Structures are given as structure tokens and as C-alpha cells.
């Protein structure tokens, strides 16, 4: 289902989707069209890194979970490190407990010599950083936020540095915008492929990142889609 609409500064309408529809988009992209999850995640991580460069500074803290959102954040951490940003990573679990794409992204970071810490305390103990990347939970939030994620969210909100959330602020329901427990209060959000219905009406700036999903995917799902990116790879949206 697509309901709310967002608009680019060039006047292109962009439909918003529920978490369920976005999951379908992802499934059609992977299963029917043959785009790998890691390909999309690479685009997500790189565009997110570019928005971190906009904020400026030379150090960043990436707070990552174990799903696709965390995987995108860890890919972003790699791009930041490749561009001489001093990156620290805080995870919501031990690295050995990471699975799937997040585990793969983390393994690369380890080979690069980027270290990670676990648990809420390191978020406040890391010391000053120029920007915090929130990649704890995306549209996969299920139910009320549990510990230790909730404590990580609280510590992220306590941080002095500007916060950029990946896809949706962690802790908000991507479909309804409801907060189930604590939620990250970002200074900006970079959402992926299509805006989520739960982002409508939020005050912070919202950017849409192109993760390489072709129109054919949207056509198969009867989602009305006009390329909002023009010749670029991201665009700012207003609801
Ligand atoms: N096309 C795609 O599928 C892509 C998806 N991407 C990202 O993947 C995300 C969706 O990935 P997933 O479906 O893996 O889900 P998420 O990564 O959004 O959520 C799963 C993570 O959240 C935690 N979590 C869920 N509910 C929780 C709760 N109540 N309390 C505490 N922790 C909770 C889980 O333990 C897990 O770590 C998107 O938001 C997006 O950021 C991108 O990486 C790129 C491509
Ligand atoms: K997030």
C-alpha cells in the first residue's frame, strides 16, 4: 500500500510505503529481478557516508544492530574509514553474534583494523565525535524496543554530536511513526529507495537515497513511480 506522498524540490511526487510494502519491494528486487541485498546495501552505505561528509568533521560513531539497517551502517563505516574519517563502531551484541549481511560487513571492518565495542556505555564513553550514525533498527522493528537497544538509543540521544539516522530513526515504527519505547531523535534521516509512511510530518530534514532499485520492481508491485533523483543519487524530500 502506498498512501502518503512526499515531494522533491523539483516537484516530483514520491509515494510513501509501509514496512510491509518495502519488504515486498526488497523481495521482488532480490528474488525476481536479481539484485543482491549486498549491492543495495553498498549504495545505502555509500550515500549515507556522503551525507555524513555534509555534516563535516573528521570523526564519526556508528551505532549498529544486526539487521539490514546495521549492515548498511557498517558499510557506511567502511566508506567513512576509506575517506580518512576516524570511525568507531558500537554494536548491540557481541561481534560473534552478528549474522547475515551485518556479519559480513563487520568482518570487512575488522580486516581493515576498525575496532568495535559492545553495549550502551561505549556510546557515551567514546568521547567527542563530529557525527553519530544511527543504524540500530530500520523498518524491521518488531514490537516495543528491548534492551540493550533501548539503552543504546538513550545514549545516542544524550550524545552532543549531530545524529543521522539510516532509513528511519531507530525505535519508531516505519509504518505508523509511533514510538514503541525510546526512539532516536535524529538531526536528519536518510531513508532508502522510497520514504516510509511513518516518516510523514517529522520535523528533521529527510533525504532519499537511490539504492539502485529499478522501475521494473515498482511496476511489478503497481507502485506509481517517477524517478525522483534526476541524474543524482539522493534528493531531499518534504512531506
Ligand atoms: N533492499 C533492502 O532490503 C535493503 C535494506 N536495507 C536496510 O535493511 C533494513 C531492514 O532490515 P531488516 O529487515 O533486517 O530489519 P532491521 O535491520 O530494520 O531490524 C532488525 C534489527 O533490529 C533489531 N530489533 C528488531 N525489533 C527490535 C526490538 N523490538 N527491540 C530491539 N531490537 C529490535 C533486531 O535485533 C535486528 O538487529 C531497512 O530499514 C534498511 O535500512 C539496506 O541495508 C539496503 C537494502
Ligand atoms: K535506524
* Confidence (pLDDT) at 180: 78
* Confidence (pLDDT) at 123: 82
Q: ipTM of the predicted structure?
A: 0.97
Which domain covers residue 178, as residue numbers? 2-238
- What is the spatial distance between Cα 101 and Cα 68, in angstroms, rounded to a whole number? 7
Distance of CA 193 to the CA centre of its chain: 11
CA 10 to centroid of ligand 1, rounded, Å: 31
Tell me if 87 sits within 8 A of 60, measured CB to CB: yes
Rg (CA), the chain: 17
* Confidence (pLDDT) at 139: 98
Strands 234-238 and 206-209 turn out to be: antiparallel
Please report where in the chains the cell 539504492 appears, as a residue.
Answer: 211
Residue numbers belonging to the annotated binding site: 68-72, 134, 138-144, 167, 170
Those residues with Cβ within 8 angstroms of residue 86's Cβ, 6 or more apart along the chain or in another chain: 58, 59, 60
Q: Give the CATH number, domain containing residue 95.
A: 3.40.50.10260
Q: Is the CB of 145 under 6 A from ligand 1?
A: yes
What does the pLDDT profile of the chain (239 residues) look like in tens digits? Answer: 556 689 999 999 999 999 999 999 999 999 999 999 999 999 999 999 999 999 999 999 999 999 999 999 999 999 999 999 999 999 999 999 999 999 999 999 999 999 999 988 888 888 889 999 999 999 999 999 999 999 999 999 999 999 999 999 999 999 999 997 899 999 999 999 999 999 999 999 999 999 999 999 999 999 999 999 999 999 999 98
Kind and range of the H or E run holding 68: helix 68-82
Count of other CB atoms within 10 angstroms of residue 217: 21
* Confidence (pLDDT) at 69: 98
Choosing from 66, 67, 208 the residue with most ligand 1 atoms within 8 A of its CB, the one to mutate for a pocket test is 67
Domains of the chain: total: 1
* Confidence (pLDDT) at 4: 65
Amino acid at each position: 500500500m502506498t498512501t502518503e506522498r512526499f515531494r522533491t524540490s523539483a516537484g516530483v511526487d514520491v509515494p510513501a510505503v509501509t514496512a510491509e510494502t518495502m519488504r515486498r519491494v526488497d523481495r521482488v528486487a532480490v528474488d525476481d529481478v536479481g539484485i543482491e541485498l549486498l549491492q543495495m546495501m553498498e549504495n545505502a552505505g555509500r550515500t549515507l557516508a556522503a551525507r555524513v561528509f555534509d555534516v563535516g568533521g573528521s570523526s564519526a560513531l556508528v551505532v549498529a544492530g544486526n539487521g539490514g539497517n546495521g549492515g548498511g551502517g557498517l558499510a557506511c563505516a567502511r566508506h567513512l574509514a576509506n575517506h580518512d574519517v576516524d570511525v568507531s563502531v558500537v554494536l548491540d551484541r557481541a561481534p560473534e553474534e552478528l549474522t547475515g549481511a551485518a556479519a559480513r560487513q563487520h568482518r570487512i571492518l575488522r580486516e581493515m583494523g576498525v575496532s568495535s565495542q559492545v553495549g550502551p556505555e561505549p556510546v557515551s564513553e567514546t568521547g567527542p565525535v563530529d557525527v553519530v550514525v544511527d543504524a540500530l533498527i530500520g523498518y524491521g522493528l518488531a514490537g516495543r524496543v528491548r534492551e540493550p537497544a533501548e539503552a543504546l538509543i538513550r545514549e545516542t540521544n544524550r550524545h552532543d554530536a549531530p545524529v543521522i539516522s539510516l532509513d528511519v530513526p531507530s525505535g519508531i515504527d516505519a509504518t505508523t511513526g509511533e514510538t514503541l519505547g525510546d526512539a532516536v531523535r535524529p538531526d536528519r534521516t536518510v531513508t532508502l529507495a522510497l520514504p516510509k509512511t511513518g516518516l510523514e510530518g517529522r520535523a528533521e530534514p529527510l533525504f532519499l537515497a537511490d539504492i539502485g532499485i529499478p522501475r521494473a520492481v515498482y511496476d511489478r508491485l503497481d507502485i506509481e513511480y517517477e524517478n525522483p533523483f534526476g541524474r543524482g543519487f539522493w534528493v531531499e524530500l518534504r512531506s
